[in-house]
Structure 1
């Protein structure tokens, strides 16, 4: 595998007797799709707008040279697609640390306790938020099953569609819960949805619950507990090393042309590259950078125009001393969730990871901005350094992970599963399983999308199915 930065010449790969597929993007979806296609004897060309591979998974040296994840971080053996890759490439995992002290803001007051106290307080709220998940998602990796199954009762179908409306915390605003409890749930889901809980589709939280055996403790373990010893870089570079195709970096695709039997892409310098099919792995937030000919469908265009609920950020903060803490604050605060991740004994410091719902509410690289954000807990955290990547402001992502707004679970992402032409989409944003939030969904779609194209190119009569 090579990664030249120069723009290639137009045309197909040298062996014109074999089908050719262009993959747009070299994140996990693009890399796994390319590997699957190559294994089926298809020539692949990969174009990546960034100067690196990995997409929204990016292991980078920050805060004094420490290898930190700017994007995707946690993995788990109950995430089937990423765990297969971890096993395939001999990667190892290790846990995030246990926490000694918890702080949370509720009804304007800072509360203190243990992490267990926080978990107990949150569990009852999560059970209410997850209500209906067993009925709605009997098959978690087929999230629209109840709509497609003709035996689904009309009442259940109507409840499912209704559950995609409103905000994720609406179920708590019925007089049964205190403002402290609502604020606690708001802290959790402002971080989880990476955006306002008022506009966050309630169905997405229920779907995450179904992928976690409907248990909040397991959902936390899957999404916040285990990291890769060699970082995400160890995994995405391992996948890339299995490819024969060149990965052309610093090369943006600005147009995709597609019909029932062929496709082509136009690069930023005007070069046209023809192929039998195109796989676009660009996040929803960056699809506006590409012109599609013919245009996307109405439902797809609406999702691209409206964007997802992902307007937030991830920040790494180094503080003085050994501080084993977790902290939560409702979404009006810059940081909604903060927890210790690395204890630096040689520096007498701790690196914490934080998440918030509004990327404009904090300067990720400014110590004073981070200090002001953590001071809300009055926990004596002295910020030494901080850093992160603003994915929402990044032209090639336009968002963090893709969480869905009210109405988008039913009407948005599924429209990108269309197979009417030789244009296909892959990426965590379009996954049926772990949609948006973790690498597992990206790998899922890379594999399934590639298998669909292989079927098209080897059995042409079925390609319109």
Structure 2
């Protein structure tokens, strides 16, 4: 194991935790990051007069990996506000009521969408367990699982007596949840979310949109970085990776290159096309990179005059699908978070665009500011959080978790648990991939020692 060295590409949560794991095992490493900052798609920045999460935001004690980091670095959480008034567009009409009343209207169709989650995911962190021959699932269950992957999240509502209001509410909900068009997203992702949340809609909502960090995500990723002794090279873009059984050569955009015993790539699918792999990645991985995920949407922060505790839902083709109040500022303004399925339909710097979104629920409110980051247009991400197209649950992400050389992948895109919306999956794979590398390097070192003795 002496002098073994690993290059970690990407300084988001997956890369940082992978580096920390390597460091604990005594393996030399360094990180390279294309951006001028750490954090990846978790980015706490000062905007609209306060710290805001431009990427990942919400955390929960039922998310084991991020909760361990919250505990380790003594961070505090705060609840998002309970809404006074909810507004939803349904069957072409604007309706309103309490948050509880809106949630009650979602309960019946969501139960249908989550149907099968217990049978499909008996162990939620083993997402393909029912297809494992050793598990012994019936052929009927396997066929149902594959059929669910080929169906969209909204397809279950086509059978039954669901009202247009129920369908529109679910359309809005999953346009935000899938951060893309729900009509093309695999229904299995929603069912796995349910399994990760005790099959309860209330807990799905609580885990994905209720609790956030007082100090922001930077309160975690900056602390992890401070614990690292290895070098973190910012503004360092990777152009090519040559990978072999026991070595890799990484070439950078500036033409320089270096060799190591292994590489851990934490670049998301949306940006992998910018890296040349030699030899080429397996066909399944290449197909996923070409098609990308279902992640085509955006997250925006919209600042309005006055204190207004509101929640809004709007189905496709409305630009903003979900809006809710998050911060009530001392200057008598409210900052709301907003999600939509298509990043090309909004300018995240345009007050006019933001005003149009607000007008669909409350035309009496005045927008005074808007901000966000277009992750889909960002060359270093090419997507927001990882959400799966139809058939990508069973033929997509797992191809990157089957290393045959010294090339390894980590990141939320390949997580067994939370692939989307929260950072838990990124940490999960940072740890597990680093352990795979550690075990492989230890085995190689042991074999070398035996050879020397012989």
Contact 1:280 1:423 in 2 (8 A): yes
In 1, Cα distance between equivalents of 2:210 and 2:99: 14
> Which structure 2 residues correspond to residues 87-236 of structure 1 after superposition, within 5 A?
87-150=71-134, 151-236=136-221
In 2, Cα distance between equivalents of 1:314 and 1:437: 11
SS at match of 2:394: helix
In 2, Cα distance between equivalents of 1:183 and 1:417: 36
SS at match of 2:220: helix
Query: 1:277 is matched with which residue?
Result: 262
Query: 1:49 is matched with which residue?
Result: 34
In 2, Cα distance between equivalents of 1:290 and 1:419: 17
Match of 1:311 among 287, 296, 311: 296
In 2, Cα distance between equivalents of 1:134 and 1:381: 43
Deviates more, 1:245-254 or 1:372-381: 372-381
In 2, Cα distance between equivalents of 1:26 and 1:439: 13
SS at match of 1:411: coil
Deviates more, 1:190-199 or 1:145-154: 145-154
Unaligned 5+ runs, structure 1: 1-15
Match of 1:239 among 183, 206, 224: 224
TM-score (norm 2): 0.97
Match of 2:334 among 346, 350, 354: 350
Query: 1:286 is matched with which residue?
Result: 271
SS at match of 1:264: strand
Match of 1:295 among 280, 289, 300: 280
Q: Deviations over 1:33-59 (max 9, x none)?
A: 000001111111110000000000000
In 2, Cα distance between equivalents of 1:437 and 1:18: 38
SS at match of 1:322: coil
- Residues 284 and 462 (structure 1 numbering): CA distance in 2 closer, same or farther, change over 3 Å? farther
Q: Deviations over 1:312-331 (max 9, x none)?
A: 00000000111000000002
What is the Cα deviation at residue 17 of structure 1?
A: 4.1
Q: Deviations over 1:237-288 (max 9, x none)?
A: 0001110011100010111111111112101111111100000000110000
Match of 2:61 among 77, 100, 112: 77
Unaligned 5+ runs, structure 2: 448-454
SS at match of 1:305: helix
In 2, Cα distance between equivalents of 1:178 and 1:44: 56
SS at match of 2:65: helix
Contact 1:428 1:435 in 2 (8 A): yes
Does residue 40 of structure 1 match 2:25? yes
Contact 1:18 1:41 in 2 (8 A): no
Match of 1:422 among 406, 426, 447: 406
In 2, Cα distance between equivalents of 1:436 and 1:283: 12
Does residue 371 of structure 1 match 2:373? no
Match of 2:9 among 16, 24, 41: 24
Q: Deviations over 1:282-317 (max 9, x none)?
A: 011000010001111101000000010000000000
Query: 2:323 is matched with which residue?
Result: 338
TM-score (norm 1): 0.94
> May I ask how many residue pairs the two structures share in their alignment?
446
Q: Deviations over 1:115-171 (max 9, x none)?
A: 000111111111110000000000000011111143111100110011001211011
Match of 1:431 among 404, 411, 415: 415
- Residues 413 and 350 (structure 1 numbering): CA distance in 2 closer, same or farther, change over 3 Å? same
Contact 1:187 1:331 in 2 (8 A): yes
> Which structure 2 residues correspond to residues 376-395 of structure 1 after superposition, within 5 A?
376-378=360-362, 380-395=364-379
Does residue 259 of structure 1 match 2:244? yes
Question: What is the CA RMSD across the aligned residues, in angstroms?
Answer: 1.2
Query: 2:233 is matched with which residue?
Result: 248
Match of 1:326 among 308, 311, 329: 311
SS at match of 1:214: coil
Q: Deviations over 1:161-197 (max 9, x none)?
A: 1100121101101251111111110000000001111
Query: 2:452 is matched with which residue?
Result: none
In 2, Cα distance between equivalents of 1:384 and 1:265: 46
SS at match of 1:354: strand
Query: 1:443 is matched with which residue?
Result: 427
Q: Deviations over 1:10-53 (max 9, x none)?
A: xxxxxx94210000000000000000001111111110000000
